[in-house]
Chain A
């Protein structure tokens, strides 16, 4: 039989990394094919190669039995492929219809025929159950709708094979269910779907067949109805999962951070955090769970002095820091591992040493009456590099050459070095490989065991569950639950994350 899509021996090398290693993949027409693997297993690279974003070093691609070569995404689109990227490629100020018809605009006498474009979009949307208003400006739409616009873009270009890269990462469960419905309708209409994910529940729920990637290799080709999550997990990780490192309780009554009815306003004057009320004690890790975009980032920014608070109080080790600036807060005893290690956590043009001393540069010993002690700076940098095993050629070299994991070590080591009572860690392991993740987790636990208080924000529920002493769940700016990880299961947290249990408000 002819496959709709087939990859043979696809290999892609980067300096020092084999991103894809002789990957084979065969997809039947009108099937939902899941591609699973951990972060860094090579899923996104493989799809980018398939979509013509860059060429493979070796290997061949066949579409309906014909060998093809894509020099650009355009070739892939012409061959009937459509891709919905993890980060949407939309034009914010244009409306939905303009975004969809872009470069294939229907025209009348040289001018864009807006009515015809909107009609086509509406027609497609109705056929596949993608509720979208063609006239709405994209910048005003929620993430779930943006994804529908991306799918419409592909369908407008008549994509027979639709590639969805981690499509549920930004969705609420309701939106996810709607997406699954759309995917099933597309399959019924004879289209083929490649579904990239690392969430096993979704694989089991939606896919017909599964290909598992591990360290760049396709290690298993399975049929969903004949397998189970345990088998897939084994293929994904190559070992039994053991994320559970819950250390013994280290109870303490000493409150380090006290947040009282904190309200933070967002861009349009709407509250993005509303009356957040919680505390973090020494010797505990408080995890904040929630779908991205429910106010976690704004809460953390407000705690760190990077965003104005509208109402409420923040007390750190007994000091009121509600209106303190960043420096005062840091002095009061707060260290912060920011979500964005490239744009906020580090300064890429500066040297490793200059990055490592950020925040320490006013400390007596490092400086004396405004003069930097260059020996002390170098010693600090060398010590952190050694203790935390940061792989650098020289501390005076630019930080931009470091890998993601090493860069995160720069941030983590620097913030740990402050030895403050409170550490705020925001998505500390996002995009890191397993080794670096274990390193960061180990550091957070050590910090806790030394009596530090840790506030952890993560989109990875497994990370929250593995590390936290208590779990707060945020939904639409509210803290809707305070849970004990020993007594709660993932599905229950999920309910809170989606606001389905608003009446049970605990916090």
Chain B
């Protein structure tokens, strides 16, 4: 028995060593270190600050706290990607849903234990409705979600910016912002590492839930098969259009939840542009790509990327190296991974295996 465990461990470490992810991480860190060195910093000191900043002191709490939106947005992306839908509208879904949830938390009277869930629910619904636009754009008008979802991000920015500056503005401050979320309707903190938002539980539940859906349910099976090969799925009796709409709504709902959490659990005010600037939607996208859209690896990778960012902030404070280095690191990892392997997406190979151009016979 122990022998078997040992063998498994050996096998696992062997696979980890040759894994493209390992290579990509090493490559990214090496590149980041050289960028720091070239721009006049000390890569070793920066690295040390990054590490200690992420896990010591308040670092662990902050890392967990930041993992909430990163993992959440990664889950939102993964749901779509797994079905072969390229939803780049996470940002807009998060911002619109977030503002809707915030409005509920600020303006709807009532006790916190009712209003907080109501705010989250509202955020989810509005996020889902926003995501419905590109979904129907694709199923009804044949507009690629990739493009429309992205363009709608800018529209969402404009809408929220307008609302926050005019009808919802807090005129007592110079910032373009809503009023502060009242204390009673904020997302509670758990007594864990000095106060981590309760939303962490929600995110963990989503991770487990999605894992169950994909591994155990008909719906998960169907979405996944549609993601692999649309024609085959349709032939097998799966309604791909309906799945597209459902999946986009789920993705939008998760985005809206996270957006609401970011205000009523963290920022407490919806400041124009803040949510966009945080870049969580995009970090989440990178996390999902690196974790190949699987829920549990997303959780692990999300924690790692969160640590990178928190550590990056510490590095900026203590070593004078901008935290944006973390962003560079994350993107480089994905570029390296994408060069090493093809992220599984829907099969678009023409029918015949021998010759990619055979499809031309009939349609030339």
Residues on A facing B (Cβ under 8 Å): 86-90, 92, 138-139, 141, 143, 146, 170, 293, 304, 306, 325-327, 330, 336, 338, 340, 342-350, 354, 357-359, 361-362, 367, 370-372, 374, 404
Contact = CB atoms under 8 A, between A and B. Distances in A.
Given A306-B234, A347-B233, A361 B364 contact: no
Given A92-B363, A327-B239, A346 B232 contact: yes
Interface residues of B, number: 34
Given A293-B362, A342-B352, A343-B351, A371 B229 contact: no
B173 interface: no
B317 interface: no
A344 B216 contact: no
B352 A372 contact: no
A336 B232 CA distance: 12
Interface stretch (B34-42, B99-107, B218-226, B248-256): B218-226
A349 B239 contact: no
Contacts of B236: 326, 358-359
Contact of B357 (A87, A325, A336, A354): A87
Nearest to A366: B218
Interface in B34-54: none
Interface of B: 216-219, 221-222, 224-225, 228-229, 231-239, 344, 347, 349-353, 355, 357-358, 360-364
Nearest to B235: A344
A128 B237 CA distance: 51
A180 B24 CA distance: 58
List 5 A-B pairs, minimum CB-CB distance, nearest first. A343-B351, A327-B237, A358-B236, A340-B351, A347-B229
Contacts of B239: 325, 327
A477 B310 CA distance: 66
Given A343-B347, A348-B347, A90 B360 contact: yes
A87 B353 CA distance: 13
B351 A371 contact: no
A330 B217 CA distance: 21
Contact of A139 (B219, B355, B364): B364
Contacts of B352: 87, 342
Nearest to A372: B216
B229 A343 contact: yes
A349 B216 contact: no
A361 B233 CA distance: 12
B231 A343 contact: yes
Given A326-B237, A327-B239, A370 B221 contact: no
A336 B218 CA distance: 21
Given A350-B225, A359-B237, A345 B232 contact: yes
Contacts of A357: 221
A273 B238 CA distance: 26
A357 B224 CA distance: 13
Nearest to B222: A361
Contacts of A326: 234-238
Contact of A338 (B221, B222, B235, B237): B235
A89 B229 CA distance: 26
B290 to A, nearest CB: 19
10 contacts: A87-B361, A141-B364, A330-B237, A340-B351, A348-B349, A349-B344, A354-B225, A358-B225, A361-B218, A404-B353
